[in-house]
């Protein structure tokens, strides 16, 4: 029994067990048994092979791994197991405390959420910019121009404009790299050339961006539900009632405002529902039950449907404000116009790529077709340009 097996034995038989281990230690005879039954257990080996492959090639910054100081046998075994999965035992996953590792094994420093660093930084930058823009328009401008103190709007009203603006921007950034990759494939005429490093990095963090967009959208919904609870809203409601009495107005019904609010609230609820469905489907326990076609359809089709609904939600919220000069404070456009620019651009590019001529060519490229290229050393003739 080696050192790690002894450590597992102590963990399983001590009174203060913290984890339940679902796998037992694989002994020396497993390797020979796997070699004999390789043809019958191909499906079982695939998942384990992927795990070994990740351990062998994953960057040290992205994962914690064990480094043996004294011997090179374990490293050779790891690399041999990654190249020839039939000649290595199964990977056994079990948890150990730091003090339980032997002195010959050192645990590298584990980074905290390495895949979330860049998405969180991007979200923080977008929130800071949108908060500053909204603060200047809704708080600073009335204070400077009219000497009116509206700083009470910062906790709820300003934040409730910052959250949806950032959420819809992050949601648009989820689908923008896929469109850029499609345009690049159309330009190159092949799918076998690698993407730029920044585009690959961007595409690898789309899941994190989508989850952050859903999180901010959910916060926006909660903030909106809290509007009637605010004391300032109650005071304004009393003022509106008093003004209506002073004007001897019996009915304050405005059909235009009623329709506007009914429509944009309904669109927001449907958009949030689709985002929740996408967030749930991205969970490993759910995505493992879906095949690749089902998962791709949900993330692509429902994702674009959610982006359409959220963009329509923002535009209907603005209604006629984009043509009314009084909403252009200090010559700055309303926030809903700027918030709709990026998602509207993404949807426009997607609509262009759905044209039959481009969609057909893109489908051929993704199935392996490559456009013919002129030989090197010969200039492009008029026939080639056609």
Q: pLDDT (tens digit, 9 = 90+) per residue, 203-218?
A: 999 999 999 999 999 9
Q: Which helix (H) or strand (E) holds 66?
A: strand 66-68
**Average pLDDT estimate for 59-66:** 42
* pLDDT for res 33: 54
What is the rounded CA–CA span in Å between residue 266 and residue 214? 17
* pLDDT for res 355: 94
* pLDDT for res 131: 97
Query: Rounded to two decimals, what is the model's pTM?
Result: 0.71
Q: Where are the alpha helices (DSSP H) in the chain?
A: 3-13, 29-36, 42-57, 73-83, 117-135, 141-146, 159-188, 197-204, 206-225, 231-246, 255-281, 284-287, 292-297, 303-318, 335-353, 356-366, 382-385
* 320-335 pLDDT tens trace: 888 888 889 999 999 9
Residue 99 has pLDDT above 90, yes or no: no
* pLDDT for res 317: 93
Q: What is the mean pLDDT of the chain?
A: 78
**Average pLDDT estimate for 75-97:** 50
**Average pLDDT estimate for 349-356:** 95
Confidence of residue 248 (pLDDT cuts 50, 70, 90): confident
């Amino acid at each position: 029994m080696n050192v790690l097996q002894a450590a597992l034995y102590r963990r399983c038989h001590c009174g203060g067990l913290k984890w339940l281990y679902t796998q037992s230690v694989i002994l020396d005879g497993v390797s020979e048994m796997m070699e004999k039954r390789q043809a019958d257990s191909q499906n079982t080996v695939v998942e384990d092979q992927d795990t070994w492959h990740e351990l062998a090639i994953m960057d040290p910054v992205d994962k914690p791994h064990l480094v043996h100081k004294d011997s090179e046998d374990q490293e050779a075994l790891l690399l041999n197991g990654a190249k020839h999965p039939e000649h290595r035992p199964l990977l056994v996953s079990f948890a150990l405390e730091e003090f339980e590792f032997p002195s010959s094994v050192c645990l590298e420093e584990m980074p905290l959420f390495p895949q979330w660093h860049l998405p969180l930084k991007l979200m923080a930058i977008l929130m800071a910019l949108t908060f500053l823009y909204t603060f200047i328009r809704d708080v600073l401008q009335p204070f400077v121009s009219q000497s009116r103190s509206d700083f009470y709007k910062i906790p709820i009203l300003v934040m409730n404009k910052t959250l949806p603006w950032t959420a819809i921007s992050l949601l648009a950034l989820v689908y923008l790299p896929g469109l850029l990759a499609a345009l690049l494939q159309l330009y190159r005429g092949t799918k076998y050339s690698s993407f730029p490093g920044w585009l690959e990095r961007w595409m690898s963090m789309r899941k994190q961006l989508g989850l952050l967009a859903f999180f901010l959208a959910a916060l926006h919904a909660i903030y909106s539900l809290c509007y009637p609870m605010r004391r300032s809203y109650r005071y304004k409601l009393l003022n509106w009632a008093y003004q209506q009495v002073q004007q001897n107005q019996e009915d304050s019904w405005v059909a235009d405002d009623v329709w506007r609010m009914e429509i944009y609230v309904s669109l927001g609820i449907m958009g949030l529902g689709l985002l929740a469905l996408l967030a749930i489907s991205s969970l490993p326990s759910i995505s493992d039950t879906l095949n690749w076609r089902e998962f791709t359809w949900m993330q692509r089709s429902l994702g674009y449907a959610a982006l359409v609904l959220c963009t329509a939600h923002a535009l209907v919220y603005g209604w006629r404000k984009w043509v009314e000069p009084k909403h252009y404070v200090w010559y700055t456009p309303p926030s809903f116009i700027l918030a709709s620019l990026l998602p509207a651009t993404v949807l426009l590019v997607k609509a262009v790529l759905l044209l039959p001529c481009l969609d057909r060519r893109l489908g051929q490229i993704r199935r392996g077709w490559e456009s013919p290229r002129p030989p090197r050393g010969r200039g492009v003739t008029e026939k080639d340009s056609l």
